[in-house]
Structure 1
Amino acid sequence: MIPRELIATAEVPGGDEPLRLIRRGSEYSIMLGANELMNSRLSGSEEAMSTLAAARIAGVSAPRVLIGGLGMGFTLRTALQAFGARASIEVAELVPEIVDWARGPMAHLHAGTLENPRVSIHVGDVGGLIRSSAGRFDAILLDVDNGPDGLSREGNDALYTAQGLQQARAALRPGGVLAVWSSGPDPRFTSGLRKASFAVEEEIVRARRTGGGARHTIWLAQRR
């Protein structure tokens, strides 16, 4: 049996428990307590979020994209392809060590995406960036927690409130799309998106790119 090895830890601002980067053979995972937040074998739903969001704004020739949460880089890597060669992508990551891990022990997973000239990294709260970016983005992709029911820190909950959704809507250009990843469905959040004057679609996608694994939910909310 291949043992698990603790590679590094990181404190989450405003969180109660540290993140742990674990390696098991060639497989990496990021843990919060007993919860596995992400695994290097399970990239299907994060990749799907990028491709589904890009399809909703396919007519935009040079989109500006904001990704909330760097993670293991699956969303970013796919976004660079899906949004086209003229897209500019900003990634907001709250935990500085996750950026360090992307350039260190998990550099092979990120495959040089952080050095792409179309990518900029903002170390800080994506909520603050959204609030200061009126009419700036064509797409906002949020994968900062387990979904609208925050797990890693209570501060993430503000993104999914009525006020947070209005702020996201204001940061989008007309026709722009807000994509939100979740480990499962949440009818109240769907209703909240509609109340915030978004046109809402829900997509159920599998955790594995081959089509297996857990079923995750992605909301695609387009600014009317």
Structure 2
Amino acid sequence: MIPWEHLDTAVVPDGGGELRLMRRGAEYSIMAGAIELMNSRLSGSEEALATLVCARVGPAARLLIGGYGMGFTLRAALAALGPQASLVVAELVPKVVDWARGPMAHLSAGGLEDPRVSVVLGDVSRAIAAGAKAYDAILLDVDNGPEGLSRKENDRLYSREGLAAARRALSPGGVLAVWSSGPSEAFTRRLKSAGFDVEVVPVRAGGGKRGARHVIWLAVSP
């Protein structure tokens, strides 16, 4: 068995702890304490977050992606959208972007350099609050979902106030898509009470029938 190698540590802003970048052979993992936030072998549900949304918006859509991770959602969105699309990636931890351009550059496959892409360093909630009807879709892959939080400040994204802000930032018919490591009936009810039409889609971490069961909420703003 090849042992895990600790490549680097990143400090999460505002007292959010640390992230560790780990490597075992060709496999990469980003850890928050004992919690694995993402693994390079299991990209299916992150890709599904993009493909499910892009099937519902036009090829020239304006997307906001909250949380870069390992870039799988961004790559899938770029592949599905046309040359007139625009994508903003909001990443809280600057070192995550450094890792994407350094030891994990092969995973990003040039996505960060695509002319359709802008990278904003900071909390995605600020990008959501920045403009009314600014996006056709908002994709949130932050922490481990609405009930899997390792950073308390992320609570506000999934609160009633956070969901109201997302509705204001979406164009009519726009989609708020939320990735989660597991289901939450409470969050489904919260989305509906915020005025969204909601579909809950189960997905596999490895794509197809492989890997853990994850959940994506597709919430459409009327």
For 1:55, the aligned partner's letter is: A
- Measured after TM superposition, the shift of residue 84 of structure 1 is 2.6
CA distance in 2, matches of 1:23, 1:158: 32
Corresponding residue to 1:216 among 184, 194, 214: 214
Query: Secondary structure of the residue that 2:75 maps to in structure 1?
Result: helix
- Measured after TM superposition, the shift of residue 151 of structure 1 is 2.1
Query: Secondary structure of the residue that 2:175 maps to in structure 1?
Result: strand
CA distance in 1, matches of 2:96, 2:16: 17
User: Is this contact kept in 1: 2:59–2:80, CA < 8 A?
Assistant: no
Partner of 1:95: 93
Partner of 1:156: 154
- Measured after TM superposition, the shift of residue 210 of structure 1 is 4.1
Partner of 1:21: 21
- Measured after TM superposition, the shift of residue 61 of structure 1 is 4.5
Identity within the alignment, % = 64
Instruction: Tell me the matched-pair count.
Output: 222
How high is the TM-score relative to the length of structure 1?
0.96
Q: CA RMSD of the aligned region, Å?
A: 1.0
For 1:98-177, list aligned pairs within 5 A: 98-177=96-175
Partner of 2:56: 56
User: Is this contact kept in 2: 1:92–1:126, CA < 8 A?
Assistant: yes
CA distance in 1, matches of 2:221, 2:173: 5
For 2:4, the aligned partner's letter is: R
1:202 aligns with 2:200: yes
CA distance in 2, matches of 1:218, 1:90: 20
- Measured after TM superposition, the shift of residue 15 of structure 1 is 4.1
- Measured after TM superposition, the shift of residue 86 of structure 1 is 2.0
- Measured after TM superposition, the shift of residue 16 of structure 1 is 4.5
Partner of 2:78: 80
User: Is this contact kept in 2: 1:91–1:122, CA < 8 A?
Assistant: yes
Query: Secondary structure of the residue that 1:22 maps to in structure 2?
Result: strand
For 1:172, the aligned partner's letter is: L
Q: Where in structure 1 are there 5+ consecutive unaligned residues?
A: none
CA distance in 1, matches of 2:28, 2:8: 11
CA distance in 2, matches of 1:23, 1:75: 21
1:5 aligns with 2:5: yes
CA distance in 2, matches of 1:15, 1:209: 34
Q: Where in structure 2 are there 5+ consecutive unaligned residues?
A: none
For 2:23, the aligned partner's letter is: R
* 1:175-210 CA-partner distances (Å, limit 9, x unpaired): 000000000000010001011110000000000024
Query: Secondary structure of the residue that 1:56 maps to in structure 2?
Result: coil
Going from structure 1 to structure 2, the CA distance change for 1:2 and 1:15 (only over 3 Å counts) comes to same
- Measured after TM superposition, the shift of residue 18 of structure 1 is 0.9
* 1:124-147 CA-partner distances (Å, limit 9, x unpaired): 010011011211000000001110
Going from structure 1 to structure 2, the CA distance change for 1:16 and 1:86 (only over 3 Å counts) comes to closer
